[in-house]
Amino acid sequence: MDAIQELKILFAKRSGADIAIEINGFTGFRTTLLEELTDTEAKQLLEIHQPQKTVKQLQQEVREASEEILKKGWKSKVLVVAEATGIKDKDGFVRFNKWMLKSSIYKKHLNAYSLEELKELHKQLQGVKANNSKSAKKPLTKSWWREGLQNKNLN
C-alpha cells in the first residue's frame, strides 16, 4: 500500500484542520494537502506516526548519539590542551597529526579514539603540559623560550 494511502487511513478519524496544520508544519509551510506530499515526505510522516523501530533500537541510537556528543567534547578538550602545550599549531593540524601517530598513547589519529581512550589521551596531554610548565622554570630550555615568547611585552 502507498504511504499516502496509509496516511489517509491513519488520519481518517481526525479533523481536516488538524491534518492540514500538521502537514503544513511538517512540510515547512509548503502544502496542507496529503496528496501534495512527496513520497519521501509521506514515508517520513508515516514513520513518525507508526514507528517501525523497537524500543531497544531507539535506546541504542540514543546511546550512540550521546557517546558521539561526549566524544566531541573530549576531542575539543584534547585539542585545547594540545594548543596550550604547543603540540598543535593554531593554523593547522600537520604537526598535531604527526605527534598523534608518533607519540600519543595509542599511536592513532584523533578520530579513531574511543571515549575511554580520549580520556587517557587527555590525561597524557595534561602530563605533557605539567612537564612543560616544570621545564619552563629552568633557563634556556625549549619550554622556557616558548613561555618567554608568550609572555613577551610588546610595548
Q: Based on the structure, what is the number of domains in the chain?
A: 2
pLDDT of residue 155: 52
Whether 104 and 36 map to the same domain: the answer is no
What residue type is assigned to position 18 of the chain?
A: D
**Full DSSP string of 38-78:** -HHHHHHHHHHHS--S-HHHHHHHHHHHHHHHHHHHHHHHH
pLDDT of residue 149: 73
Whether 41 and 75 map to the same domain: the answer is no
Whether 85 and 121 map to the same domain: the answer is yes
pLDDT of residue 116: 96
Whether 59 and 131 map to the same domain: the answer is yes
- What predicted TM-score, i.e. pTM, was given to this entire model? 0.63
Provide CB contacts within 8 A for 86, sequence distance 6+. 132, 146
DSSP 27: T
Decide: 32 and 24 in contact? Cβ < 8 Å.
yes
Torsion-angle region of residue 24: left (phi > 0), alpha (psi -120 to 50) or beta?
A: alpha
Q: State the residue range of the domain holding 9.
A: 3-49
DSSP 110: G
pLDDT of residue 154: 59
Whether 31 and 91 map to the same domain: the answer is no
Whether 72 and 118 map to the same domain: the answer is yes
DSSP 111: G
Q: What are the average pLDDT values for consecutive 10-residue runs of the chain, which has 155 residues? A: 87 91 92 91 88 84 95 97 90 93 94 95 94 81 76 66
Whether 79 and 124 map to the same domain: the answer is yes
Separation of first and last alpha carbons in the chain: 77
CA–CA dist 41, 29 (Å, integer): 13
Whether 13 and 81 map to the same domain: the answer is no
